Amino acid sequence: MLAALVLLSPGCGGDGADRRFPPDHGDLQADVAGSDLDGADAGELEADTSEDPGPEHQPGLLGEHIARYLPDGVSPEELFPSFALVEPRYPTGPVPDGWGPTPAFSAEGGTHVAQLAIADGTDLYGTGEIAGPLRRNGQRTQAWTEMPNFTSGDGGVRFDDSYDHLYQAHPWVLAVRADGSAFGVLADTTRRCRIDLTDGIRFEASAPFPVIVIQGDGPLEVLAELADLTGHLDMPPRWALGHQQSRFSYVDDGAMRSIAQELRDHQIPTDVLWLDGVYMDDYRLFTFDEQSFPEPAGLLDDLGDLGFHVVPIFDPGVRYEETFPLYREALEQDLLLKFPDGEVYNNLVWGNALFAFPDFSQRATRDWWTRHMGAFLETYPFSGVWVDLNEPVVYGVIEWYPPEELVSLGDDRTPPATQAEYHSVYALQQLAATEAAFRQAHPDRRPFILTRSSYLGGQRHAATWTGDNTATWAHLDWSIAMIGNLGLSGQPFSGADIGGFFVPEGTEGDPAPWDPELFAHWIGIGAFYPFCRNHSAGTDDPFTALVGGGPTHHAWDFGPDIERLYRESVERRYRLLPYLYTLFRAASERGAPIMRPVFFAAPADARLRREDRAFLLGPDLLIVPQWPEGVLDDGSPLELPDGFDQEITLVGEQPDADAALPRIRIRNGAIVPAGVVAQTTAFDPSSRLDLYLTLDENGTASGTLYEDDGEGHEHLEGHYRLIDLRAETVDGDVVVTLERREGDMDLPTRPVRAHWYSSAGVTTAEGTTDRVVFGKSPP
């Protein structure tokens, strides 16, 4: 094949803002300048380097609500650097007696243990991405990044709830006490960490590790402290909140143009198309297959004219061949993972070809990756980046993963070590370099990066998804708890492949067909995922998928009824974009989960603690699935919080008739902002704003709306508007007002329509800019 390769000499290009971990003080000002810490002043946060603060991992109180503990006899100098923390944290003093939960450390042979007791009535959550129930009491998991290698009878590589670790590693547990107060426990180790929640909280690893405990009045307060400790989600570009369409794979220029036009013809609101690996020349990084994609820049321009952003995939492996310039350069600069004897590690990944793997522990390797990816993104103006297979994984004959004996060389911050230390942060270090590449190529645009693998704190670089799921009712069910527990582990921006990536097992080696009813229910739920993407292989054979083989599950593939349900589900999401965007602001500032368990509405209500099918979208909307009888409905009622008395509809949908559409209930006393439905998320400040509201027992309601330009960094300089939404009952009238609280953007002149839901029904009133008045209250 012909190939177009963007290759830089080692000295070309800039580093960008490399938020690598653990950071040194010199990077801190650049990191803040390139992040979305709204209102933060880099000068105020610049570290004081006049005195050496001493070694990392010193025990003591790290803040009023955060404490670090070390095993007896272990000095901070002995411990591997932290990769979870966004910057080193040093104690302000010793931990006071009786401060809070305290770990008991022990060593049993080569196993190092930290154990914390919990009181009766304490429920446990977190542990990152794992299939199974939301509540983790009684469960055993591991923090260790691996693609699942459970192989089904038809050859498909799958996961289920028996698999105790998946693509991401989060050595973290969130505990909610009976009274609704909470604490979190972080095992600050990159090694394989076993988490045993059968009797309290127990962490095990093969080397000593510190434990950090965070206390809070409730789970939201703990997660806010966790975000401060491990890093904040950057405010994403607005388009990244839209519906997204992907497939393994759209194999050429024509296929991309065709799916784009079909989405517009069928009027399925969509903002993003994804390019899987076949766009490359035989999976050679930073290349295009010039036969299948002869004019990639023109393709991107044409898709942009239709309102689509395009995001391509990058795997970490470098094609292991002497004639490939990128490989030669990495070899000559000693940037690749090696065996202890110095031999470069290589193994099969795609197309029966061998690949070597960059050693991202080295600063030089991260800078090399940043230069080359940055140059590629400058040449081909993609809107974001997708990194995959970065656990990392290989498709070898006798192994699925690089062996732990491989050596990473480290740099001036981190020592040389084997993959026992570096494996689970391989993706995290790649993500730091990838974010820097995007910022190098597009300094005026917000990065959007999607990753399959990650580590605790990865939200500071990328969104994530739950990997290669299967089109079964169980996987739809698990997706709610998986996304929920990722949010409770500091990662608010995640989703699952809508419709299922793999087809389910069939008979006699043939894949089963997609289930239209499941597909309809999946988009009904998936339209509320923080990250909303339809993605599939359509086959269990990856090589069939590579050439576009196997059935598709596009919105229109199952007839007009399913297409209508799909469209209505996506339109609901687009209607709620003002609310969703406001939730992302809260996630960025305070680590607040976007899709959250129902017990967040009443943390002390014990009956809500196990509910993991219904969920909250932010604080004000309750999403109630309508599971088919006998499939996921076990006959027991969903446990729903009090105070969500009114059900709302958004686009004329009829959940009474269409069970695939979850019911949406609004919190008493809430005002939820909404917009008009369009085919993209492009923001028109003059378009109508809708407000959905119910009154509380005092006849009042409140809400918040956040708006900015949706793409650049001007919001960091105060160019945004944060609007208080209020409703009051005045002499029998209900008066709704909009008032700017923060930011230098004025309220735009636009029509405002308010929908007031009460026991008497729904009443609609029209207003403009900053005020809507309803007539006399209904009885």
d(CA 146, CA 395): 12
- pLDDT at residue 2 tops 60: no
pLDDT of residue 397: 66
Q: Can you give the residue ranges of every domain in the chain? A: 25-230, 238-584, 612-776
Cβ pair 307, 679 in contact under 8 A: yes
- The answer to whether domain 238-584 and domain 612-776 are alike in fold is no
Which amino acid is it at 570?
V
Q: What is the CATH number of domain 612-776?
A: 2.60.40.1180
Specify burial of residue 26 (Cβ count, 10 A radius: 0-12, 13-18, 19+): exposed
- Find the mean pLDDT for residues 302-323: 98
- Find the mean pLDDT for residues 212-229: 99
3-state secondary structure of 113: strand
pLDDT tens digit sequence for 570-619: 999 999 999 999 999 999 999 999 999 999 999 999 999 999 999 999 99
- Between 13 and 427, residue with greater pLDDT: 427
| Range in 45-59, 78-92, 121-135 the model is least confident about | 45-59
d(CA 320, CA 351): 12
Sign of CA dihedral 508, 510, 516, 519: positive
- Between 14 and 282, residue with greater pLDDT: 282
Match domain 25-230 to its CATH number in 2.130.10.10, 2.60.40.1760, 1.10.10.60, 3.40.50.10540. 2.60.40.1760
| Range in 23-32, 492-501, 583-592, 679-688 the model is least confident about | 23-32
pLDDT tens digit sequence for 540-565: 555 555 555 668 899 999 999 999 99
- pLDDT at residue 17 tops 60: no
Which amino acid is it at 732?
G
pLDDT of residue 351: 78
d(CA 470, CA 500): 5
d(CA 153, CA 706): 50
d(CA 259, CA 273): 9
d(CA 686, CA 679): 17
pLDDT of residue 666: 99
pLDDT of residue 31: 32
Calculate the dihedral angle through the C-alpha atoms of 651, 655, 658, 659, rounding to the nearest 10 degrees. 140
pLDDT tens digit sequence for 138-178: 999 999 999 986 555 444 557 888 889 999 999 999 999 99
- Residues, the chain: 779
Q: Which of 185, 182, 172, 192 is nearest to 212 (CA)?
A: 185
d(CA 583, CA 576): 11
Cβ pair 59, 210 in contact under 8 A: yes
pLDDT of residue 401: 87
d(CA 554, CA 244): 11
pLDDT tens digit sequence for 632-641: 767 788 999 9
3-state secondary structure of 743: coil
The mean pLDDT of the chain is: 91
pLDDT of residue 161: 85
d(CA 773, CA 766): 8
Q: Give the CATH fold of the 238-584 domain.
A: TIM Barrel (3.20.20)
d(CA 699, CA 702): 11
Beta bridge partners of 348: 354
Q: Please give the share of the chain, as a percent, with pLDDT higher than 70.
A: 89
Q: Given pLDDT bands bounded at 50, 70 and 90, which one contains residue 779?
A: very low
pLDDT tens digit sequence for 643-686: 999 999 999 999 999 999 999 999 999 999 999 999 999 999 99
- Tokens for 101, please give them: 């939960």
Could you tell me the CA-to-CA distances from 373 to 72, 97, 315, 327, 362 in Å, in that order? 45, 51, 12, 14, 17
pLDDT of residue 35: 36
- Torsion angles phi and psi, residue 282, rounded to 5: 50, 45
pLDDT of residue 152: 52
Q: Which of 324, 351, 326, 323 is nearest to 336 (CA)?
A: 326
Cβ pair 146, 391 in contact under 8 A: yes
CA angle 187, 192, 196 (to 5 degrees): 60
